[in-house]
Amino acid sequence: MSDLVIKNSKLVLPEKIVDAGLVIEDGRIREITKDKNLPDAERVIDARGNYVLPGLIDAHVHFREPGASSKEDWFTGSSAAVAGGVTTILDMPNTQPPTTTIKHLNEKREIARSKAIVDYGFHFGATVDNSDELSRLGNDIASVKFYMSATTGSLKVDNDALIFEEFGILKDKKILATVHAENRDMVEYWFDRLKEKEGVDALDYANSRPNICAADALNRMVFLSKMIGNSVHFCHVSTREEIEILRNSRDNRVTAEATPHHLFLTKRDIKELGNYSKVNPPLRSRGDQLELWNAIHSGVIDIIATDHAPHLPGEKERDILIASAGMPGLETMLPLLLNEVNKGNLTLIELSRLTATNPARIFRIGNKGMIKEGYDADLVIIDLKKEDRVDNSRLFTKCGWSPFDGWKLKGWPIKTFVRGNLVFDEGSIERIRGKEITYSKNES
């Protein structure tokens, strides 16, 4: 007998939406078939006519453990994930200690193994002196991350010659580079000017990292990676200038990501959010935001990822110069996007391409990212008609706040399955262990 059958659903497949059911065995989608052909199963779930999406793959989260588990740990972070319909996450290396040695990677693996309730993978961190470690990496990481300027933590590679050399290592090993592109000299210069001013506020902070910081850094890295021929993925693209550069240099070795906070917030929100708006790269203008949406629809932006960067209220409410940068996003990404689907600004097929199919392709995640026979049964049932408010008091993230608190949204996840296990069910979490993902071989 099958383990699980989901009936009465509308399945969001890569190219079309079909009225059909799912047969799940050993955590995989065994069959997609009309309801009348569904076999008996140990458990039958009636989707009540709702849509089923492939579980979201969030390629950019900061789970903070080891080192800062007061902000988030692998259980609270992964609970926030499944509450937001996210079934796989890729964790960033700026933990304490940073994930810049194979030893530290393996230590983080142990933590994730015992606490995660989503499936997960790891980004490794590049430093100014870990070329040896990079040379020893295998096919068991999502990417090597380059911070071109310092942000949370002290990870950075602020020397283009070193980036050039390290990109070369990654090219030979067919490992993807991910980049936080902000020009260090500019960011530091204008930050120093800010320190000389009186009464600096959150808008001054955002203005101290203008578009040129991101655009110049991205432009250089596109050029550099073209010279070398390695694959590079740009995190949190936020400006019209970056989009222009990406559009002109279109090359399948270059991919790009946008965050929900850049898609849904602008500088105009800084007044109300105060220090909670502080994030790197900063919130941008409405014009930039519109260009990001155009880039989403035209394919210049390949994926949406949260950059879930939890910090405690006390760390945000400090003087703006030393307040922590970053905001949580795991629980709100899907409802925000579904609300746009309801408004007619996005289709469910686009949504699943941006949040599941494309991340699986770019990060070479085997067997995930689509509702397809043989693929993992990572699924989220959504209720497109459900209306609710984002509410800080109901969040699972340990940081306990969201920049979207109070926003009324239509369209919410109601059930999330990781490899056929129901881990989130209308507000309650089931503690079933996640697994580390596997990667297919990179051809390019």
3-state secondary structure of 357: helix
Instruction: Check binding of 378 to Zn ion (CB under 5 A).
Output: no
Report in angstroms how near the CB of residue 214 gets to ligand DOR at its nearest: 11
Nearer to Zn ion, 235 or 371 (CB): 235
State the binding partner of 94 from Zn ion, ligand DOR, none, CB within 5 to 8 A by kind: ligand DOR
- Could you count the other beta carbons within 10 Å of the beta carbon of residue 330? 31
Whole-angstrom distance, CA of residue 322 vs CA of residue 17: 48
x-or-dash string of contact with Zn ion, 217-236, rule CB under 5 A: ------------------x-
| Residues making up the chain, counted from first to last | 444
Of residues 58, 91, 119, 307, which has the active-site annotation? 307
- Does 187 sit near ligand DOR (CB under 6 A)? no
- Contacts with ligand DOR by CB under 6 A: the residue count is 10
- Minimum CB–partner distance for residue 31 and ligand DOR (Å): 42
Do residues 20 and 59 touch, judged by C-beta distance below 8 A? no
- Cα–Cα distance for residue pair 318/339, rounded to 1 Å: 33
Q: What are phi and psi of 39, to 5 degrees?
A: -80, 175
Binding of ligand DOR at residue 94 (CB under 6 A)? yes
- Which of 55, 260, 326, 335 touches ligand DOR (CB under 6 A)? 326
Task: Tell me the C-alpha to C-alpha distance, in Å, between residue 232 and each of 96, 121, 386, 399, 438.
Answer: 25, 18, 38, 31, 20
Instruction: Tell whether residue 280 is a contact of ligand DOR (CB under 6 A).
Output: yes
Residue of 108, 180, 284, 308 interacting with Zn ion (CB under 5 A): 180
Which residue from 62, 240, 353, 419 is in contact with ligand DOR, where contact means CB under 6 A? Answer: 62
Query: Token match 């990677």: residue?
Result: 105
Residue 398 makes contact with ligand DOR by CB under 6 A: no
In one-letter notation, the amino acid at residue 93 is: P
Cα–Cα distance, 141 to 122 (Å, whole number): 5
Residue 283 or 382: the one with the smaller Cβ distance to ligand DOR is 283
Alpha-carbon gap, residue 67 to 94, rounded angstroms: 10
Q: Per rule CB under 5 A, is residue 331 in the interface with Zn ion?
A: no
Residue number, nearest CB to Zn ion: 180
One DSSP character per residue, 295-309 reads HHHHTSS-EE---B-
CA–CA separation, 300 and 312 (whole Å)? 34
* CA angle at 439 for the pair 434 and 442, rounded to the nearest 5°: 165
Verify whether residue 19 is a known catalytic residue.
Answer: no
Residue placing its CB nearer to ligand DOR in the complex, 153 or 411? 153
Is 152 an interacting residue with respect to ligand DOR (CB under 6 A)? yes
Does position 28 interact with Zn ion (CB under 5 A)? The reply is no
Q: Rule CB under 6 A: say whether 309 interacts with ligand DOR.
A: yes
What is the DSSP code (8-state) at residue 353? I
- Residue 279's binding partner among ligand DOR, Zn ion, none (Cβ under 5 to 8 angstroms by kind) is ligand DOR
Task: Please choose, from the candidates 427, 396, 264, 262, the residue with its C-alpha nearest in 3D space to the C-alpha of residue 331.
Answer: 396
Just list the catalytic residues.
307
The binding site for ligand DOR (CB under 6 A) comprises 62, 94, 151-152, 180, 279-280, 309, 325-326
